[in-house]
Structure formats: C-alpha cells, structure tokens
Structure 1
Amino acid sequence: MSLSSTASWRLSVLMPVYNEEGTVAQIIQDVLAVPLDLELIVVDDGSTDLTASILHALPADPGDRLKIIYAPRNAGKGAAIRIALSHATGDVVVVQDADREYDPMDFVPMLDQIKAGAVVVYGTRLSPEALRLNQEGDHDKFYLARRLLPILTNVLYGTSITDEATCYKMFRREVLLSIPLRCERFDFCPEVTAKIARRGYRIVEIPIHYHSRTAAEGKKIGWRDAKDAVWALLKFRFFN
C-alpha cells in the first residue's frame, strides 16, 4: 500500500508475550472484540509459566484472525515484535502488550488518525488530556523516567511527543518494514522512535486509557530498561 492509499486499512496487532498466564487469554479476547478488520499475531517469547499451555488450549477464532507463534527461547520484546511483524499482512500495525495495562478499544481512534493521513500514531498516557482520562494517575516508580524520556527525545530529535515509552505505537506497515530494527529487549521503543524521527516522519499522539500494574502483579520492566532507553536514544541519534 502506498503512503497515499486509502485501501482496506486492515490492522495487524503484534503481541509479544512472556510469562503472562494470568492475562493472556483475556487480552486476546479483548483484542479480537475490537470492531475493526484486524488480525492478532501472538509471539510466545519462550515463556516458562503456563502461558504456552493456555495458548495451545485456545479455541480457533471463527474468522481465522489469530496467529500464534512459539519462539524457541526468550529473546526479548524487540525480537518478538520483529517475529510478529514478519507474519503481518495488514496495511497498519500496532504493538500490544499482554498485561492488560492498555485498552485495545483505543485502536479505533488511533486508526482514525492513520486514515486521516498520519503515518505514525502513538497513544499517550502522559498528555494533560490522558492524565485527566486516567484519574487514578500514573505515579508508579517509573513515572519520572516516563516523563524524562520524551524530553530527551524532543531535545535530540526535534519531536514534540509526551510519551516515548508507550506500548501503543501504530505505523503504516511498509514504513515499519523499511526501518532496520535490531534491539532485542524493551529498547525497541526508543530505537523505533529514534529511527522514525530521523527519517522525518511526524509522530501524532492521541490520549489513551491506561492502568499501571505493579511488579507484584507481573510488571517486568526495570531500571536497567530505563538506562538502556536513554543509551538507545543517544546512540541512534548518530548511528543507525
């Protein structure tokens, strides 16, 4: 599909999964309930809990919209996203975590932005409107890092975003395929943001729903990932 096309706008949802036995079945159901023409590509990234067993036991989707891929070992979120992307057939792709912190119904207004001409759309948790939308706030221990990363991004790349680390990143598929992605872990986020910005694409943001979970509830990102994100933003400013 060319960048100017207004074709079918099929959405490919890329879902990396690692040790999410408590949420994976429900989040798949949530995604498939979104009223869009979509496919869901789940990559089990070498889970060591019951995630793979749960995925194997899922009933077939009547519309054949669900693809499940089992990676032989845990390689990281970025690696799993690349695997999912290689199986995507939609005009547009979006990343979906399996932990249910995000609401897939937000795909609808995000895709509306693509239909209106955007090439890249991020769902922000941190704009004033998003903070009003999510009234419980977003003040876990990584809140400061989430605030600092977009500031660093804007300084380095001349962007004007409020939430660099958001999971909800939506792209026209051919644009994402044109970018050489190499990061294996959570540094996928700063890598793709940096490379999108360096290529001159404008990142459109819309507010989304968000409910943060704690480490006790299974949150996996840590301070190492925050440091890796800073390093990735600095590195990709000058190197590809």
Structure 2
Amino acid sequence: MTSLSVLVPVYNEQHLVSTSLGRLEILEGSPHLERVQVVVVDDCSRDATGEVLRAFAAARGVQWLENGPIENGVELCGHGRQGKFQWVFLRHVMNGGKGRAIRTALAEADGELSVIHDADLEYHPRDLARIVKVFVEEEADAVFGSRFAGGEARRALLFRHELGNRLLTFLTNWVTNVNLTDMETCYKAVRTDLLKSIPIVSNDFRLEPELTIKLAKREARIFEIPISYSGRTYQEGKKINWRDGVKALWAITRFWLSDHVYQEDAYGSQILGRLARAPRFNAWMADVIRPFCGQRVLEIGSGTGNLTRRLVPRNTYVASDVNPLYLQTLRGLTLDRPYLDVTLTDVTKGESFPAVEGGFDTVVCLNIIEHVDDDLGALRNVRAALAETGRAIVLVPRGPDLFGTLDEVLGHKRRYTENTLVELAGKAGFEVQELLHFNRVGTPAWWLNGKLLKRRSFGLLQIKALNLLTPLFRLIDRALPFPPLSLIAVLRPTSASAAPSGSGPDAGAAPEGAAPPDVSASA
C-alpha cells in the first residue's frame, strides 16, 4: 500500500475542471492506495473556474475559505477530507504558468508518490491505478503514461501535433540516452521525495523536457505504461501550440547542458553531483584501489554508486551513505545485483555499521574522515567492522597548505600530511601497509581555484575537461613534479600478521601511484 498526491494545475477550465476532478474518485477503489491527496492550484483563472471549484468542494463537504490566508502569492481556498481523499484548493494571486502551479502544488504534497493531472479530459485517472501498481511491483522512481505505446483507446486527431511530440521525444532521448516513447505526456508520476529534491525552474510547458532530463541525470528508474488518450482540438480549448514546441527545443538544449539537478541541501548534493560528472576520473580511482579489495566489502560514503558500480561484483558488497537521496539511488542498484546491500552508515556512529559473519575483509572509505570532527573515532569504528586480517582503504586530501575555499565548500575540516595520516592510523589500531600518492595533476588546479582565486564552486567546464583529459593524466601523473592532491592509505589492523604488499584476493601488480612500504617515501 502507498499514498498518492495528485497535482492539478488549473487555468480557465470552467467547463471541464469539475468533471476532471470527479474522475479522480475512481482511485477510491485502488487496492494499492491507502490515501489520495488532491492539490488543486487555480492559476488565477479569468473565467468562472473559481466558482466551479467552490461548488465542487462544497459538494464534498470541504470548507471553502472566503479571503483565505495568502502566503508568497498563494491563497488557501479550502481543504478537507472525504473517505480516502484529502482535498486542498489553492489559488495564485497572479498567473504564473503551469510550471509554477505544479511547484505550488508540490510544496503541499505529502503522499509517497506524486503525479501531474491536467484539469481537462484528455487523460483518464483509471490509468493512474495502473501507474501506481508499477511503483509497488517494480520499485520504480518514476512512471510515465505513454500515449503512443498502445493504450486501450486513443482519439485520432492532430497528426502534425503528434509528429512534433515524437520529434521532441526523440531529441530528449538522444541527450539522455533513455528510450521513452512519450516525453511530453502529462502523466508523469514520481516519488515525492525525489521530485521535491529536483530544482524545477520552468513556468510553462518547458517543464516536460526539464523534468524528464533531470530525472535521467539523477539516474532515476523510469518506467512507461500505455495509457488511453482523448486529445482536444484547438476549438475545444487545447492550449499548447507550435510556439511551445520551439520553446521546448531550446529547453532540451538548456537542460542537457546544465547539471543543476539537486536542490540545495545540507549534504551538498549539488556540488557532489557535479563532481560525479567525471566518470573517467572515478574509474581511475577505482582501478587504483581495486587490487586491495577483498570479497566482503563495506563502502562508506558511496554517493550515487559511481565507485560501487566499478568495484562489484563481490561475494558481499554493502554500499552506504547518510544522504537519503543517495540511498534511494543506491537501492535501485540492488534489484539486479543480489550480492549488493544498501544501508545508512554514519562513520562517526559505530552502532550504525552493518555486520557480516567474520567481519568485512575490506572497508572502503574515500573522502570521508576529513569531513568529521572526530576522525580518530571514525577510523576506530572502521577498525571494529574489519576482520582481523582485513584492510581499510582510506583516501584523504593532502596538504594543509592547500586548504582554501573549495575545502570550505566541500565541508572539509582538515587536510593531511603523510605523517599525520600515519600517526592517526596508528592511534586507531592500524598499521600502514601501503601509502599511495594519487592525482598530482590536480594539485596546481586546486591551489589556483581554492587558494588564489578563492572560488566556491567547481565549474562544469572544468569538470568536463577533467573527465576528457583523465586518460592523459593517468599516463603522466607519476612523472609530474607536484606533490599529490590526495593520499590513499591501505591499512591493516595492528593485531593482524604481516602480509605481503597487495596480497588481497584481487592482488596483482602494484597499482599506479603506489609508494614503497616505507611510507615516508615519495612516489
């Protein structure tokens, strides 16, 4: 069982809105829904839509407020409950467009799922019950109702309009590499917490490509189901026209080039999301640590799984994070990876660590301990999760003299030297098996941006350049005269018997950038 919030933007629909809302009551019989919230936003209609909504609410025992409270240009007109349904009626003081009306409705949404429902009669809510079923059975992040995938019935009209829709869908598929059949569909259902975490900026029909592209960039699990469709003619009141198609073309280009896919939050999701736009760099990092990974792996701070995807499969692999948005993305990876588990693990709280029989033989902890106040306690928690012969792979930023504005933005508490890292590891009950010097080429760029220019963000072009040039950087990194930007320590519990360097289950030749066992040596 789940709950659904239906977001209904309304503008000048006095003849159809009552019937359209009444159709939603078919969801009363859905076996998958325990509650339905309907949020209606009148976008400052100039016809009698307001009076029609008042009569609709009164017929269902919903109290209508005369001169209701107004906040941020939104007036509360009425709210009430009838059976499984909760009705909320809002009104914009000024017309803002479909996108703004949806943002207003979304702010009130409290169901587990949210879906957009237009106030006309082109779509039938009986299809919403089938959409909800996909969420329940397939653990989807988003489900689109496709008008072109063969529904039960589809009214035949406006051939050139359909061609335009198919062109926009094709272009969206091209930039996202997702094979949708109907990007412009109104029926887009998304998990509410995911939808609220996406910054929607479009105020008109450009919302459709924006939302689709941003969902794809967030790696959402998107499904489609065929739906019935009874389109209107322009004489019957259809609002979208060729000008909206031209705007959509520009929107596809704009949102393809943009990586603004996270709302600002306490976890720095937008900044970390931008850093994830360098998959070749992530592959380099994975290749460096892979020889030291065993078959029972705990990864702390997995993010959206950029490293996880490159280190699996393993007999047991537990990916973890503290960001709920990242955890939801990670759980999507488990559906076809039976060896993968996902859990919330806070490196500062030992009780949050998962356990496996015999302990983990590898704990991967990259770019984590520099963010916490008690880095010693964090490493001790890592030590407690390990088997006696296990390894911890810990990456930290090197060079206190490099600490600058970029470190502040990322939430770094400190940067390390080789000596301070070795000393910290010893206090936590570890000995250093290997100390790897990683990413020398990044040191001048970090100094320039964080110390000299005092920038507080990473430019998208810089990240794309990093990704493009990473193959070259991998070839020349060891020959560069700069100190490394990061240190990777391969740690063994001090109680473990000595083992040859790099002798793990996947061990082979020493990875690039490795320092000799004498940890004070320079690579």
**Structure 2 length normalisation: TM-score?**
0.43
The structure-2 alpha-carbon separation of the partners of 1:40 and 1:158, relative to structure 1 and needing over 3 Å to count, comes to same
Alignment of 1:61-76 (within 5 A): 62-63=82-83, 65-76=86-97
Deviations for 1:12-51, whole angstroms, at most 9, x for unmatched residues?
A: 0000000000101111111123224311100000100000
The separation in 1 between residues aligned to 2:36 and 2:237, in whole angstroms, is 28
Deviation at 1:149, TM superposition (A): 1.2
2:40 paired with 1:19: no
- When structure 1 is superposed on structure 2, of 159-168 and 197-206 the one drifting more is 197-206
- Determine which of 184, 198, 208 is the counterpart of 2:203: 184
The separation in 1 between residues aligned to 2:6 and 2:233, in whole angstroms, is 24
Q: Percent identity?
A: 39
Deviation at 1:224, TM superposition (A): 1.2
Contact 1:32 1:40 in 2 (8 A): no
Question: What letter is aligned with 2:103?
Answer: R
Contact 1:140 1:212 in 2 (8 A): no
Deviation at 1:229, TM superposition (A): 1.1
Q: What is the Cα-based RMSD across aligned positions, in Å?
A: 1.3
| Matched residue SS, 2:2 | coil
The separation in 1 between residues aligned to 2:193 and 2:157, in whole angstroms, is 33
**Structure-1 residue corresponding to 2:121:** 100
Deviation at 1:135, TM superposition (A): 4.8
**Structure-2 residue corresponding to 1:3:** none
| Matched residue SS, 1:108 | helix
The separation in 2 between residues aligned to 1:109 and 1:48, in whole angstroms, is 35
- Determine which of 148, 151, 163 is the counterpart of 2:182: 163
The separation in 2 between residues aligned to 1:68 and 1:97, in whole angstroms, is 15
- Determine which of 58, 63, 79 is the counterpart of 2:100: 79
| Matched residue SS, 1:142 | helix
The structure-2 alpha-carbon separation of the partners of 1:181 and 1:168, relative to structure 1 and needing over 3 Å to count, comes to same
- Determine which of 2, 24, 38 is the counterpart of 1:9: 2
Deviations for 1:108-159, whole angstroms, at most 9, x for unmatched residues?
A: 11001111211100000012x23xx325435344111111111111111100
- Determine which of 95, 109, 118 is the counterpart of 2:140: 118
2:90 paired with 1:55: no
The separation in 2 between residues aligned to 1:184 and 1:135, in whole angstroms, is 28
The structure-2 alpha-carbon separation of the partners of 1:199 and 1:135, relative to structure 1 and needing over 3 Å to count, comes to closer
The separation in 2 between residues aligned to 1:76 and 1:136, in whole angstroms, is 27
The separation in 1 between residues aligned to 2:121 and 2:3, in whole angstroms, is 23
- Determine which of 203, 207, 215 is the counterpart of 2:234: 215
**Structure-1 residue corresponding to 2:172:** 153
- When structure 1 is superposed on structure 2, of 11-20 and 226-235 the one drifting more is 226-235
Contact 1:96 1:168 in 2 (8 A): yes
**Structure-1 residue corresponding to 2:110:** 89
Unmatched tracts of structure 2, length 5 or more: 63-81, 261-523
The separation in 1 between residues aligned to 2:46 and 2:155, in whole angstroms, is 32
Contact 2:147 2:154 in 1 (8 A): no
The structure-2 alpha-carbon separation of the partners of 1:135 and 1:199, relative to structure 1 and needing over 3 Å to count, comes to closer
Question: What letter is aligned with 1:237?
Answer: W
Aligned residues: 230
- When structure 1 is superposed on structure 2, of 138-147 and 163-172 the one drifting more is 138-147
The separation in 2 between residues aligned to 1:51 and 1:140, in whole angstroms, is 30
Q: Which has the larger radius of gyration?
A: 2
| Matched residue SS, 1:66 | strand
The structure-2 alpha-carbon separation of the partners of 1:135 and 1:17, relative to structure 1 and needing over 3 Å to count, comes to closer
Using CA pairs below 8 Å that are at least 6 residues apart, which structure has the higher relative contact order?
Answer: 1
The separation in 2 between residues aligned to 1:224 and 1:137, in whole angstroms, is 22
**Structure-1 residue corresponding to 2:39:** 41
| Matched residue SS, 2:114 | strand
The separation in 1 between residues aligned to 2:228 and 2:88, in whole angstroms, is 26
Q: Higher strand share goes to which structure?
A: 2
**Structure 1 length normalisation: TM-score?**
0.92
Deviations for 1:65-117, whole angstroms, at most 9, x for unmatched residues?
A: 11100111111000000000000110000000011100001011100111121
